[in-house]
Structure 1
Amino acid sequence: MSRPVEQGNAVEFRTARRLDVLIPTRNRAAELAVTLSGLAAQSGPADFGVVVSDQSDGEPGWSVPAVATMVRVLRHRGHPVLLTRRLPRRGLAEHRAFLLGQSLARYVLCVDDDVWLEPGAVDRMMTAITELGCGFVGNAVHGLSYLTDRRPEVHGHYAEWDGPPVPERIRPGTPAWERARIHPAANLLHITERLRLAPDEWRAYKVSWIGGCVLYDRAKLVDAGAFDFWPEVGDRHQGEDVAAQLAVLERYGGAGIVPSGAYHLETPTTVTDRDVEAWEILLNNPVSFG
């Protein structure tokens, strides 16, 4: 029988590492185990830490042996892991703000609890953000159940950066907003196949926002306001990641990276109360959003 896993010490965890991975979770023990397994199999950077913040209705995900085992594997491989609970729930943005506050790392990778990362994905994103110098880079998630569902009509929204990304003011109703159409289903995977990239080759492309797996330059995210807008959007919202990324894009620019090594587990959402789009509230409030 598996022994209870230690949660870790928050004070000891907060050191100036190069990278921390931040994972919010709720009622998804099986998916969380898969997400952690992807991180445990990464090759470099060797010094990343992991923070898991659980808002499950019952016992936290790490009470399940499969999750506890992957926590132990990460620690065994030299990756500090902090396990926390954040209750009562105050919405997605507040949860992400809390997670960010647990880390002092130079870069933070926000990964949802239903995303598996292939080996090398984190290292590729770290290489990209270092070379590009922008506010964030991301791996849009592939839905492999859509692998045979080709949608060439949306591929035209893919456009690569010729040089480092520059700041962009992106709003609904503009052509730039339509870039998000390449991310659902397996569209980005089909685009990547068409590019015929060489091994270890990657490209940066223009985005409006990316869901599921985004690597931020911490200082630039904080300067853009991060998720501190959470009191303004209530607790029944979605689109908190969109709001944060629009702010970072406007100040520092950002990019998607292909190939993406992120795969969506395609399980139902555990956050069903989503009456409000956080980005809509902030865009309509010039005091809160530049």
Structure 2
Amino acid sequence: MLDASDLDVLVPTRDRPAALSVTLAGLAAQTVTGARVVISDQSATPVQDDPLAATAVRLARHRGHRVEVLRHVPPRGLAEQRQFLLERAGRRFALYLDDDVWLEPAALEILLTAAVELGCGFVGFAVQGLSYLDDRRPHELTAYEEWNGGVLPERVRRGSPAWQRHLLHNAANPVHLARRADDGRPWWPYKVAWIGGCVLYDRERLVELGGFGFWRSVPPAHAGEDVVAQLRVMERYGGAGLLPSRAYHLELPTTVTDRRAECYDYVLDQP
């Protein structure tokens, strides 16, 4: 098996033991081993006390990954949990992986290969919902544009044409985009507004730009913390989505029910 010794996989979780088990099972089946998996557990019942989750942790360890489960309570918001994880990462690359995402076996290998070859601030797979396979939305795909000749820094803000790229990741749009653009390449980069659920950063660059340290300046109940981090990194170092996506959303109800406080408004919209 190949090696993932340059990779920290950072998994925030809260009260989703079954979904976390599926996520960890996907990691256990990867074609690369040697990753360090750090789980920030804010569940009412600790992950280690749930039979499904505990078994999945053991499975990932058995398959060659180092897995650490850290209790991190009380919750102080999504951004704080991500910052907590970032401060415990130390490898070249940090992959933020949500606890309701299953990865194809080649996903980590492709992410690492693309990150090295492209040399940008982040790469990622948009998570796709397979229940929407028959829901085709060509009007949401008009902003699609591939990166050719390298990934460049770019400033993306609300109201700009590039902001409309967020529609590319709705429903099963990544599946339809990949089928439309497939010409036999194992993977290719495209331009994004941001990516949710599965994003691999150059860790030092994310830290340089503040990571998620802005958590102190936003209300505890907030959303869009990953948007702020990615827009900052993209502006300095560039970022790209990868197709075909190897990440699948488990399509559970969202745990972020209060979206009135968007981090963008508190961080990027300030003078």
Q: TM-score, normalised by structure 2?
A: 0.96
Mapped partners of 2:81, 2:180: distance in 1: 38
Partner secondary structure for residue 31 of structure 1? helix
Q: Aligned partners of 2:246 and 2:257: how far apart in 1?
A: 27
> Does 1:31 find its partner at 2:19?
yes
How many residues are paired up? 268
- Work out whether residues 29 and 63 of structure 2, in 8 Å CA contact, stay in contact via their aligned partners in 1: no
1:71·1:81 contact (CA, 8 Å) conserved in 2? yes
Runs of 4+ in 1 over 2 A off after TM superposition: 270-275
CA drift at 1:270: 2.2
Tell me, in whole angstroms, the C-alpha distance in 2 between the residues paired with 1:216 and 1:19.
10
- Contact 1:142 1:263 (8 Å CA) reproduced: yes
Aligned to 1:190: 176
Q: Which consecutive unaligned segments of at least 5 residues does structure 1 have?
A: 1-15
> Is the aligned partner of 1:76 residue 2:62?
yes
- Of residues 112, 122, 135, the one that matches 2:98 is 112
1:202 Cα deviation after fit: 0.8
TM-score (norm 1): 0.90
Could you tell me which amino acid in structure 1 is paired with residue 179 of structure 2? E
Match of 1:267 in 2: 252
Work out which of the residue numbers 199, 207, 210 in structure 1 matches 2:192.
207
**Cα offset, 1:17, TM superposition:** 4.1
CA displacement, residues 213-237 of structure 1 (integer Å, 9 cap, x when unaligned):
0000001111111101110012110
In the alignment, which residue of structure 2 is the partner of 1:40?
28
Deviations 1:48-106 (A, max 9, x none): 110111111x2123321121111111111221111011111110000000011111111
- 2:265 aligns with 280
In the other structure, the counterpart of 2:135 is: 149
Q: Could you give the per-residue CA deviations for residues 245-271 of structure 1, whole angstroms, max 9, x where no partner exists?
A: 000001000000001100000001223
CA distance in 2, matches of 1:53, 1:197: 39
| Partner-residue secondary structure (3-state), 1:157 | coil
Q: Is the contact between residue 29 and residue 62 of structure 1 (CA under 8 Å) also seen in structure 2?
A: no
| Aligned with 1:63 (options 34, 49, 57) | 49
Q: Which amino acid aligns with 2:21?
A: A
1:111 CA drift (Å): 0.5
**Runs of at least 5 residues in structure 2 that lack an aligned partner in the other structure:** none
The structure 2 residue matched to 1:233, chosen from 211, 218, 224, is 218
Q: Which letter does structure 1 place at the counterpart of 2:203?
A: R
Post-superposition CA distance 1:8-64 (Å, at most 9, x none): xxxxxxxx94001000011101100000000000001x22110111111x2123321
- Distance (Å, rounded) in 2 between the aligned partners of 1:208 and 1:132: 17
1:88 matched to which residue of 2? 74
State the identity as a percent: 57
- In structure 2, what is the Cα distance between the partners aligned to 1:67 and 1:55? 14
CA distance in 2: counterparts of 1:24 and 1:231, whole angstroms: 18
Query: For the residues of structure 1 that align with 2:77 and 2:149, how far apart are their CA atoms?
Result: 37
